[in-house]
Structure 1
Amino acid sequence: MQTYPKAVGAYSAFRKAGDLIFISGQLGLDPQTNELVKGGVGEQTKQALNNIKAILKENGLEISQVVKTMVLLSDISDFAIMNEVYEKEFQAPFPARSAFAVKDLPKGAKVEIEAIAYKA
């Protein structure tokens, strides 16, 4: 059973480089259907983070080992809702993060999150 969505293009869901793992942008896709979860940016943020956690777990890592994230939002006014969900998944010290509003995201998604984790 696939625990995170498969890449839908010419890219990998993740790549390892030494003690680092680079996780490609994850949408709020249900890994079983490859469709966006129902709901808004909050639900999609939660699912995107669940997809990241599944990739980390497969590689013997945990969310606490994420050192950097980048969040892309289709509407910057969704930042507060995304941040509320995001805050519940991470603990201090929080990863470094950048967040941007973009014109569009694949599949009409409201949020996409990529991550870099460090295996110490």
Structure 2
Amino acid sequence: MARTPINTDRAPAAIGPYSQAVRSGNTVYFSGQIPLDPATGEVVPGGIEAQARRAFDNLKAVAEEAGGSMDDIVRLGLYLTDLGEFAVVNSVMSEYFDAPYPARSTIEVAGLPKRVAFEVDAVMVLD
């Protein structure tokens, strides 16, 4: 099955040898999105709320470039450097998703690229 890379200027460029997402058949696999401003490539200022919002905005931009929406996302992976921020991230996530919610894992990690506090990846299925 063919693999089609997905890239948009509305999300930050990859900071390594990977695509923002790859479509295979009707499934889109997203690389992790961190809270980088797509215009500057810099980490957005502010705490975990601002970082989560920017990362979800980046995810949304890639989903739209792939021909879908946040409603088409079936699985999320959330990575936090502090699980004490879990409730804040849930609150921000609720601004982007409606029931039925995607399946999700939330994992505390020791570190993330550019020393950010939050990263999200996803899988989307298109009809």
Q: Normalised by the size of structure 1, how large is the TM-score?
A: 0.97
Flag structure 2 segments of 5+ consecutive residues without an equivalent.
1-7
1:89 aligned counterpart, secondary structure = coil
Tell me the SS of whatever aligns to 1:51. helix
The answer for the alignment partner of 1:115 in structure 2 is 122
SS in 2 for 1:113: strand
SS in 1 for 2:39: coil
From 45, 48, 54, the equivalent of 2:55 is 48
- Out of 47, 64, 70, the position equivalent to 1:63 is 70
Write out per-residue CA displacement over residues 30-71 of structure 1, whole angstroms, 9 at most, x where no aligned residue: 001111111111111111111011011111101000000000
The CA distance in 2 between the partners of 1:59 and 1:97, in whole Å, is 21
Alignment map for 1:80-95 (pairs within 5 Å): 80-95=87-102
Q: Which amino acid aligns with 2:13?
A: K
Aligned to 1:104: 111
More helix by share: 1
Letter in 1 for 2:33: Q
> For structure 1, which runs of at least 5 residues remain unmatched after alignment?
none
- Partner amino acid, structure 2, of 1:9: G
Aligned-residue sequence identity (percent) comes to: 37
> 2:36 — aligned with what?
29
Give the superposed CA RMSD. Answer: 1.0
4+ residue runs over 3 A deviation: none
Q: Under a length normalisation based on structure 2, what TM-score does the superposition of the two structures give?
A: 0.92
